[in-house]
């Protein structure tokens, strides 16, 4: 028999520990949340050391993601994928910035680490306007031991060409701390 369903979930602690009513007014508070999610995900042993969050232009939190690959038995369950897909379920649209005049304005995705090759492509289809990144790809590989996969040579330029503004190295040291702690813990998630 063929399986016809995929069911992915975020861990239950997100509902207890994330304030979904708060306004995240600046990029620092947005990237800080993504990094905080990555740290909590490791502490709860609910997945790998990666977190992501989606905001509308007013700074309202409209989507959240953490890595769920091992607990879900699913290689596509990266933090960025979980964040955009849960946000799309909430909005009931497959492109977040579809310009339907609902007042969301620009859509911003903050991620604790530079997106891997899969998430990189996924963000182009997801409909985001701005990508905020904390740790670099090198940090992920050297501190936590994860391969990030092959990207186009000018990966950031290719996003900018498609209207996605990229800001890098935001609170990079904080994100590196989480990756280092994870790498040194010996946990494999």
Using CB under 8 A as the criterion, which residues of the chain lie in contact with its own copies when the complex forms? 1-10, 12, 14-15, 18, 20, 61, 63-64, 69-70, 72-77, 81-82, 84-95, 116-122, 124-127, 149-153, 155, 158
Task: Quickly tell me which residue has 């997100």 as its tokens.
Answer: 14
What phi and psi, each to the nearest 5 degrees, are found at residue 16? -85, -30
For the CB of residue 153, give the shortest distance to its own copies in the complex, in Å. 7
For the CB of residue 147, give the shortest distance to its own copies in the complex, in Å. 8
* Antiparallel, parallel or unpaired: β 108-113 and 130-135: parallel
Which residue lies nearer to its own copies by CB, 32 or 61? Answer: 61
Closest by Cα among 9, 73, 45, 8 to 188: 45
Closest by Cα among 63, 133, 132, 134 to 104: 63
Which residue lies nearer to its own copies by CB, 105 or 150? Answer: 150
For the CB of residue 177, give the shortest distance to its own copies in the complex, in Å. 25
For the CB of residue 73, give the shortest distance to its own copies in the complex, in Å. 5
For the CB of residue 187, give the shortest distance to its own copies in the complex, in Å. 16
Which residue lies nearer to its own copies by CB, 122 or 178? Answer: 122
- What is the secondary structure of 35-49 as a DSSP string? HHHHHHHHHTTSSSS
Which residue lies nearer to its own copies by CB, 160 or 184? Answer: 160
* Antiparallel, parallel or unpaired: β 51-55 and 61-66: antiparallel
Which residue lies nearer to its own copies by CB, 120 or 182? Answer: 120
Helix (H) or strand (E) holding 51: strand 51-55
- Helices 172-185 and 27-43 meet at what angle, rounded to 10? 10
């Amino acid at each position: 028999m063929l399986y016809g369903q995929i069911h992915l979930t975020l861990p239950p602690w997100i509902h207890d520990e994330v304030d979904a009513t708060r306004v995240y007014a600046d990029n620092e508070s947005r990237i800080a949340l993504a990094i905080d999610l990555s740290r909590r995900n490791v502490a709860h042993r609910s997945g790998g050391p990666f977190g992501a969050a989606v905001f509308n232009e007013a700074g309202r939190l409209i989507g959240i993601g953490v890595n769920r690959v091992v607990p879900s038995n699913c290689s596509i369950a990266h933090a960025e994928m979980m964040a955009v897909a849960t946000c799309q379920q909430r909005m009931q649209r497959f492109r977040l910035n579809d310009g339907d005049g609902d007042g969301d304005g620009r859509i911003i995705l903050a991620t604790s680490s530079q997106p891997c090759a899969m998430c990189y492509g996924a963000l182009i289809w997801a409909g985001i306007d701005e990508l905020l990144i904390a740790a670099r790809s090198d940090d992920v590989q050297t501190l936590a031991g994860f391969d990030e996969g092959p990207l186009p040579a000018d990966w950031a330029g290719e996003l900018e060409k498609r209207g996605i503004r990229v800001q890098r190295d935001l609170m990079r040291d904080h994100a590196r701390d989480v990756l280092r702690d994870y790498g040194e813990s010996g946990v494999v998630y």
